[in-house]
């Protein structure tokens, strides 16, 4: 994009500068409401007005992008807030993970029930469930 701007802007700038410095006649500018006259070289006036137009264009561009800059600031603020929230959640998850690891370790240290004990527990639960469903 910068190359295209230079490709277009450089010839225009060269034409303006050649025009300005070829016209060395004096020009008189009247500032009407103040009755003030300024006499300067036409080349100085052309360069001044080109620079004035450039500065006004920059100002217009800066003002037109104000909503974009405001939205960017709001997004940065939201990103910081979400980053802090994510950090809290990561800490919470790591705490839960360590709790899970300790529970797994304590579960592993308990003696394993035999097949008969598991079978007995299974049927005792089934009979209790059957009794509870029959009372409903």
Q: Is 64 exposed, middle or buried (0-12, 13-18, 19+ CB in 10 A)?
A: exposed
Which tens digit of pLDDT belongs to each residue from 84-114?
999 999 999 999 999 998 888 888 787 887 8
The closest alpha carbon to 24, from 9, 43, 5, 7, belongs to 43
Helix 66-109 and helix 42-64, axial crossing angle in degrees, nearest 10:
40
The closest alpha carbon to 16, from 39, 41, 45, 38, belongs to 45
Q: Is residue 119 part of a domain?
A: no
Q: Is residue 50 part of a domain?
A: yes
Is residue 38 within 8 A of residue 31, CB to CB? The reply is yes
Domain span holding position 19? 2-64
Q: Is residue 40 part of a domain?
A: yes
E strand or H helix at 58, and its extent?
A: helix 42-64
| pLDDT of 136 above 60 | no
Q: How many domains does the chain have?
A: 1
Q: Residue 67 — φ and ψ, nearest 5°? A: -65, -35
Instruction: Identify the bridge partners of residue 26 per DSSP, sorted by sequence position.
Output: 41
Which tens digit of pLDDT belongs to each residue from 12-52?
888 888 887 788 889 888 888 888 888 988 888 888 888 99
Q: Is residue 51 part of a domain?
A: yes
Q: Is residue 111 part of a domain?
A: no
Q: Is residue 46 part of a domain?
A: yes
| pLDDT of 68 above 90 | yes
Question: Residue range 56-64: average pLDDT?
Answer: 94
Q: What is the pTM of this model?
A: 0.53
Q: Is residue 130 part of a domain?
A: no
E strand or H helix at 54, and its extent?
A: helix 42-64
């Amino acid at each position: 994009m910068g190359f295209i701007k230079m490709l277009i802007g450089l010839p225009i700038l060269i034409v303006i500068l050649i025009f300005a410095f070829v016209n060395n006649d004096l020009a008189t500018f009247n500032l009407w409401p103040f009755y003030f006259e300024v006499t300067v070289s036409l080349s100085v006036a052309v360069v001044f007005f080109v620079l004035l137009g450039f500065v006004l264009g920059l100002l217009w561009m800066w003002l037109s992008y104000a909503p974009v800059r405001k939205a960017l600031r709001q997004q940065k603020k939201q990103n910081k807030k979400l980053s802090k929230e994510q950090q809290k959640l990561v800490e919470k998850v790591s705490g839960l993970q360590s709790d899970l690891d300790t529970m797994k370790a304590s579960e592993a240290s308990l003696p394993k029930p035999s097949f008969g004990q598991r079978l007995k527990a299974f049927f005792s639960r089934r009979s209790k469930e059957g009794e509870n469903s029959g009372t409903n």
